[in-house]
Amino acid sequence: MSSDAKPYTIITYGTFDLFHVGHVRLLRRLADLGSKLIVACSTDEFNTLKGKTTAIPYAHRVEVLESCRYVDQVIPENTWEQKREDIVRFDADLFAMGDDWEGKFDDLRDLCDVLYLPRTENVSTTELKQLIQRMRGNGSPSRNVAAG
């Protein structure tokens, strides 16, 4: 790409709770598609509106995302409706999500390309949370680990 060429900007959205290898692989695949990756991380308040409970607070999830070498910028996701505004504001060329959202954001194609990527097999935040609950229910001791 020449020095005066516009960067190819990708934007994606998610909660990124219990950050795991599936998240890493998604972000790496997205970063490989362009020159700038923007990640909109759902705030705790927005997750509450969606009926989701997170294990990790928003500020910590942002810190993890910012430490990921594939991510260039993290912004808050506060509403469903902000996607159109974000695409315009950040001049995004590609909007990308996991394929469990297939077809849900096709209306954004008038602003940029839309891509749905396959999820990493055998790993999901929901399944991890269920496993942790089962482990706790089986008499496994729970420990609080101080953040350091």
Give DSSP secondary structure letters for 88-126.
Answer: HHTT-SEEEEEGGGTTTTGGGGGTSEEEEEPPPTT--HH
Q: Which of 70-84, 105-119, 130-144 is the least confident region? A: 130-144
CB 92 within 8 A of CB 9: yes
In a domain, residue 109? The reply is yes
In a domain, residue 26? The reply is yes
The two structure tokens encoding residue 28:
């790496």
**pLDDT for 15:** 93
Provide the domain count of the chain: 1
**pLDDT for 35:** 96
pLDDT digits (tens, 9 = 90+) for 81-96: 999 999 999 999 999 9
Owning domain of residue 50 = 9-137
In a domain, residue 100? The reply is yes
- Paired strand residues for 9: 36
Place of tokens 């909660």: 15
CB 142 within 8 A of CB 136: yes
In a domain, residue 83? The reply is yes
Task: Report the CATH number at residue 83.
Answer: 3.40.50.620
Residues 6+ positions from 76 with CB-CB distance below 8 Å: 40, 41, 43, 58, 62
Which residues are catalytically annotated?
Answer: 50, 52
In a domain, residue 112? The reply is yes
In a domain, residue 117? The reply is yes
In a domain, residue 146? The reply is no
More confident residue, 17 or 120: 17
**pLDDT for 64:** 96
pLDDT digits (tens, 9 = 90+) for 56-69: 999 999 999 999 99
In a domain, residue 20? The reply is yes
